[in-house]
């Protein structure tokens, strides 16, 4: 019996050791090596069946050109909104190169990013956008285009695709209203040669771009409609024989400054055919034109000679120029509103909701997932 008792005691002791060891192992949150940089993944059935954490996604944002002043303001606002939403976001600069942007997107997809936000470079055709959609769709990754508009067909080709931007034509109509507001207040003052017409120069952002097309066409059409309705004169392009009633400057201040200098060479401000109005598709080109005017003695801070200069975006430099009396007005494109709309859709994905959930109070197009951010006139 003595030997049997000893054996039983030994077995009981071993059992207690195993029980205590098991309890100790279950008391921790992870059994991973604390020195490892790899994330610990719990693949148990209970955990995997739970919804993902609201902020547990990574978003990659692809910008057509970091150098664009308005897009820079959208980017800054997006960063702040992403931080508030506790969403991780990385930004990529295509520097105006569609091939580079497409490569950046394909690399991100291969790295299992959760959401793509794309400010597409090429807008003249659907080809580039469809390439992006096809890649996102094949990987089942939600996709948001913004600012630079893609067609309805592109958005509708993928149920997890949306667009956040503006009504391309609205800025043109509002710019036309703004031109009328400014000039109709004292038509004779702005009609420098007294011929009953306002001679203008137009700086267009980009050929084949919906925003540039709408702003170029409807700013002049709407201003002339209002002038005619109120028995005033009309706008007349400064080059009567021109077939294209605009100077393409690719949204850039330097290009507009150079073209304005050339225009002032053929139409000096002290001549009977002087330019009487500057219309630009964006503020950067308007500011470039102002620099050329300033060199000719016009639109200087505190000066007594100026002509109306109007743009689009209401960037900080434009607002400062308006405050100094150099620029006359602009159409505000709401950078914060656009950023908020984009991050709202990203938050839907982060919380496991549909991409277009919670958009009842937004301005959404009928039949396509496009959210429109309104414009507004700005004169200081």
Neighbours of 241 (CB within 10 A): 5
Specify the pLDDT at position 55: 54
Percentage of the chain lying above the pLDDT 90 cut: 85
Distance between CA atoms of 327 and 207, rounded to whole angstroms?
25
Specify the pLDDT at position 38: 32
For the record, the structure tokens of 296 come out as 């000719």
Distance between CA atoms of 252 and 268, rounded to whole angstroms?
23
Residue 299 scores a pLDDT above 50: yes
CATH H-level, domain 169-332: superfamily: Response regulator (3.40.50.2300)
**Mean pLDDT in residue range 107-124:** 97
Specify the pLDDT at position 56: 80
Distance between CA atoms of 308 and 179, rounded to whole angstroms?
8
Percentage of the chain lying above the pLDDT 70 cut: 86
Specify the pLDDT at position 304: 94
pLDDT category at 45 given cuts 50, 70, 90 is very low
**Residue pointed to by tokens 């430099």:** 317
Residue 154 scores a pLDDT above 60: yes
Specify the pLDDT at position 20: 33
Side-chain-facing half-sphere of 226: CA atoms under 13 Å:
19
CATH T-level assignment (fold) for domain 58-165+335-375: Rossmann fold (3.40.50)
Specify the pLDDT at position 288: 99
Rounded to two decimals, the pTM is: 0.81
Nearest to 253 by CA among 275, 281, 286, 280: 286
**Would you give the distance in Å from CA 13 to the centre of its chain?**
70
Residue 202 scores a pLDDT above 60: yes
Specify the pLDDT at position 21: 37
C-alpha distance from residue 189 to each of 198, 202, 222, 326 (Å): 11, 20, 21, 17
Specify the pLDDT at position 327: 99
**According to the per-residue pLDDT averaged within each range, which of 10-19, 26-35, 51-60, 130-139 is highest?**
130-139
Specify the pLDDT at position 376: 97
Distance between CA atoms of 216 and 218, rounded to whole angstroms?
6
C-alpha distance from residue 72 to each of 62, 76, 121, 167, 361 (Å): 12, 6, 15, 20, 27
Residue 100 scores a pLDDT above 60: yes
| Mean pLDDT for all residues in the chain | 88
Q: Give the torsion sign (CA, 275, 279, 283, 285).
A: negative
Angle, to 10 degrees, between the axis of helix 283-295 and the axis of helix 253-266? 40
C-alpha distance from residue 182 to each of 175, 186, 325 (Å): 11, 8, 13
Q: State pLDDT tens for residues 223-275.
A: 999 999 999 999 999 999 999 999 999 999 999 999 999 999 999 999 999 99
**Mean pLDDT in residue range 183-209:** 97
Please state which of the ranges 21-35, 67-81, 85-99, 102-116 shows the lowest mean pLDDT. Answer: 21-35
Q: What angle do CA 325, 204, 224 make, to 5 degrees?
A: 75
pLDDT category at 322 given cuts 50, 70, 90 is very high
Distance between CA atoms of 15 and 24, rounded to whole angstroms?
14
Ranges in the chain annotated CATH 3.40.50.2300: 58-165+335-375, 169-332
**Residue pointed to by tokens 């910008």:** 63
**Residue pointed to by tokens 């692809």:** 62
Could you say which DSSP state residue 310 is in?
E
pLDDT category at 3 given cuts 50, 70, 90 is very low
The values of phi and psi at residue 235, to 5°, are -80, 145
Residue 12 scores a pLDDT above 90: no
Residue 324 scores a pLDDT above 60: yes
């Amino acid at each position: 019996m003595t030997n049997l008792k000893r054996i039983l005691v030994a077995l009981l002791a071993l059992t207690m050791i195993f029980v205590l060891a098991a309890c100790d192992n279950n008391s921790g949150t992870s059994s991973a090596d604390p020195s490892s940089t790899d994330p610990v993944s719990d693949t148990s059935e209970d955990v995997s069946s739970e919804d993902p954490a609201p902020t547990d996604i990574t978003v990659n944002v692809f910008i057509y050109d970091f150098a664009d002043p308005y897009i820079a303001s959208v980017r800054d606002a997006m960063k702040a909104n992403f931080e508030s939403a506790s969403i991780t976001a990385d930004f990529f600069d295509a520097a105006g190169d569609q091939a580079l942007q497409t490569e950046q997107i394909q690399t991100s997809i291969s790295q299992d990013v959760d959401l793509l936000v794309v400010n597409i470079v090429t807008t003249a055709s659907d080809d580039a956008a469809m390439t992006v959609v096809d890649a996102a769709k094949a990987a089942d990754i939600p996709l948001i285009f913004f600012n630079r508009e893609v067609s309805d067909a592109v958005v509708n080709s993928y149920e997890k695709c949306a667009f956040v931007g503006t009504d391309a034509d609205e800025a043109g109509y509002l710019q036309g209203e703004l031109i009328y507001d400014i000039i109709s207040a004292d038509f004779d003052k702005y009609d420098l040669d007294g011929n009953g017409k306002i001679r203008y120069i137009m700086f267009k952002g980009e050929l084949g771009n919906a925003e540039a097309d709408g702003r170029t066409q409807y700013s002049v059409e709407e201003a002339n409609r209002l002038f005619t309705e109120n028995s005033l004169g009309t706008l007349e392009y400064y080059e009567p024989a021109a077939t294209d009633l605009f100077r393409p400057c690719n949204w850039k201040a330097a290009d507009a400054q150079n073209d304005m200098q050339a225009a002032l060479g053929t139409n000096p401000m002290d001549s009977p055919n002087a330019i009487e109005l500057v219309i630009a598709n964006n503020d950067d080109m308007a500011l470039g034109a102002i620099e050329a005017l300033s060199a000719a003695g016009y639109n200087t801070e505190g000066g007594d000679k100026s002509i109306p200069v109007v743009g689009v975006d209401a960037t900080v430099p434009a607002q400062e120029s308006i405050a100094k009396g150099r620029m006359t007005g602009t159409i505000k494109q709401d950078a914060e509103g656009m950023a908020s709309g984009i991050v709202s859709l990203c938050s839907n994905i982060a919380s496991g909701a549909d991409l277009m959930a919670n958009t009842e109070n937004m301005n959404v197009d009928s039949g396509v997932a496009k959210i429109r951010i309104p414009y507004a006139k700005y004169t200081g």
